[in-house]
Structure formats: C-alpha cells, structure tokens
A and B are shown apart, each in its own frame.
Chain A
Amino acid sequence: MSIPDPVREEDLIRSRQRGRARVMAVLLGAFVILVFAISIAKIRAGMPH
C-alpha cells in the first residue's frame, strides 16, 4: 500500500475547493438573474409577488 503524499493531497483539496467555489459562484449569479427575471415577469403580468 502506498503512503499518500500530503503535499499532493493538499493540492488536490485546494483545486477541488476552487472548482466548487467557481461553480457555486456561477450558479448564484444565474440564480440572482433568474429571480430578477421572474420578478419582472410577475410585475408585468400584474400578479402578486
């Protein structure tokens, strides 16, 4: 059984965290735009929010 290299493992963890943070940022940005668009659509349709 090989012993895990702590430096490589640290790099892997950091790169995964970076990737997840980027995806989360994109999703949150898209969510904000979508909520804005929904609000506009509902206001134009005269529906209660």
Chain B
Amino acid sequence: MTSATPLLPPAHWRDFLALTKPRVMTLVVFTGLCGMLAAPTSVHPVIGFTAILCIALGAGAAGALNQWYESDIDAVMRRTQKRPLPDGRMDRQAALHFGVGLGAFSVLFMGFAVNAVAAAILTVSILFYVLIYTVWLKRRTPQNIVIGGAAGAFPPLIGWAAATGDIALLPVLLFLFVFLWTPPHFWALALFMKSDYAAAGVPMLPVVSGERTTRTQIGLYTIPMAAVAILPWPLGLTGAIYGIAAVLLTGWFALLAIRVAKRTTHADDAMKPEKALFKYSILYLFVMFGALVVDRWFA
C-alpha cells in the first residue's frame, strides 16, 4: 500500500544537521577520541582527525536512519515532535538517502584513510544501531536499550582500533563500561518520560514492567557497571589518576542510583532524583573518559 505524501520544499541544510542528532554525537565523538588518545601508539593528527570525523559521520548516519524509521513515534512524543520529519520540514525519502549516503561514505572513508579494522567496527556499530536497536528491538522488548546499548559503546573501540589497527583488553573494558552504563542512564530518563513512551507505544521498562522493577534494575545494573568502571586500575591497564577518579565518580553515581532504586513515586512527583541521576550519568561518562586520557598522557 502506498500513501500520498504532500510535496515539500527542499529541506533547509540545518534540518539535515538536526537529523544527525548532534547532541548525541558529542558523546560519541568524545568517547571515540578518548579511546584513540588512550591507545599506546600515537596516530598522525590528520589521520586521527579523519578517524574522529568518520566516527561522527557514522553516528550522524545512524541517527538520521533512526529518525527516518521512527518518525511515527517521534510525532507522538513531546521530546521529539519538533524534529524535521515529524514536524513536516523534510521529505522522508530525503532523510533515507541522506542517512544511507552518509553511512556508506563514513565507512568507505574510514577504510581508505585510517584502517580496515576501524572501518569494520564502524560498520557493525551503524548496522547494530539501525537494524538491531531501531528496527528490531525498540518496539518489541523492554530490553531494547540493554542490548541496543552496545551500539553506543563501540566508539572507544573504534578510536583505539584507528590508532593501533587492533583490539586490546582496555578498549573491550571501555566498551563494556558504556554498555553497562546505558541501562541506568536510559531508565532514569524513561522514569520521568514514562507517559511519553507509553503514548508512543514504546515498550520501555517502566511502561511494561512498572516503576518498581525499573528502579530495582537501575540499582542492579549499577553494580557490574561500577565494577567494570574501576577494573582497569587493579588490572594495571591505567594508573592512579584514573583509578581514584573512577572510585570517587562511580561512588557518587552509585549513591544517586541507590536513591532512585529505593524511592517510590508519589502524586505530583517532580522526579528530581531521577533527573539528577540522568544528568549526572552524562557528566560521569565525560569525566571518566577524560580521566582516562589525563592518566595516559600525564601520569
């Protein structure tokens, strides 16, 4: 069945930029850069810049294809209603072509300018985000962001591979760290955006299993996340700068997570602890990766 779509004027270039989810890209670029800078080999600045550019373009492509596929959900949720597709500022086909083109370009350019290992992991990360998370899991299971979280965990691995052409234990631990960080981060958001997800029919954990289960799961996932966050230090993969920062920052994360885990929502709840955990989780990831680079370069 085909549906008639109104003829739209060409989209503004800013709408193409918005399609790449620039704010999400910031975190992806930063963790990718830190993965590269934490590697034991130095990379030529031009090649390093190109690798980070390709990671950013790949993330942008994945974001564009995600928005192309999810425009119906985005139209229902307040947080996403003003995106170019649900707001009617862009033709769906243009978004699809842009996403596919950008993704193919980022992978080919990574392979040409950097190395095949980094290009291969970039391909897997784009496909994982688009096919496994967006198309397969998101609308089907409350475990969507648990498994889908792997997509956002690839950048440090790609950054490391771009510098060394290989994979080692430290970037694998960084991958696991971001992977285990994702559920508490997203479920904190889902707790205070629950009504939006319910209206859009997205089976996020608070919608399907209730708030009590979600709060318990946030507490439970924080335990392995904390262990993996600190593990590089006792294993001798990082120095004391990272180790001490990891202990202190993760300790604060755990306190916020416990506070959320123990709470119950009451009428007219402003959900301040959940919002605090969500905001801190973003800062936490930035500072942890920053500490890793400081430790590698200045210890």
Residue numbers of A with Cβ under 8 A of B are 9, 12-13, 16-17, 19-20, 23, 34-35, 37-38, 40-42, 45
Contact residues in A for B44 (Cβ distance below 8 Å): 41, 45
The 0/1 profile, CB within 8 Å of A marked 1, for residues 22-58 of chain B is 0000000000000000000000101101100100000
Number of A-B contacts defined by CB within 8 Å? 31
Contact in complex: A38, B50 (CB < 8 Å): yes
Within the assembled complex, what's the spacing in Å between the Cα atoms of A41 and B114? Answer: 11
Interface size in chain B (residues, C-beta < 8 A): 12
Q: How far is the CA of A37 from the CA of B10 in the complex (A)?
A: 33
Nearest CB of chain B from residue A30's CB, rounded to whole Å? 10
Query: How long is the Cα–Cα vector from A23 to B47 in the complex, in angstroms?
Result: 24
CA distance A27 to B46 in the complex (A): 17
Contact across chains for A13 and B46 when beta carbons are under 8 A apart: no
Flag whether B12 is at the interface (Cβ < 8 A).
yes
Looking at chain A's contact residues, is the secondary structure mostly helix, strand, loop, or mixed?
A: helix
Give Cα distance in the complex from A40 to B49, angstroms.
14
Check B173 for interface membership: any CB of A closer than 8 A.
no
Q: Are B10 and A38 in contact (CB under 8 A)?
A: no
Q: Contact between A20 and B9 (Cβ–Cβ < 8 Å)?
A: no
9 nearest A-B pairs in the assembled complex, by CB-CB distance: A41-B46, A16-B10, A23-B13, A37-B46, A41-B44, A38-B113, A13-B9, A20-B13, A12-B9
Is B11 engaged at the interface, CB distance under 8 Å to the other chain?
yes
Residue of B nearest to A4 (CB): B9
Query: Which residue of B12, B47, B53, B113 contacts A19 across the interface (Cβ within 8 Å)?
Result: B12
State whether B46 touches A38 (Cβ < 8 A): yes
Q: Is the CB of B13 within 8 A of A17?
A: no
Task: Say yes or no: B13 contacts A34, CB within 8 Å.
Answer: no
Q: Complex: how many Å from CA A15 to CA B92?
A: 21
Closest to B48 in A: A41
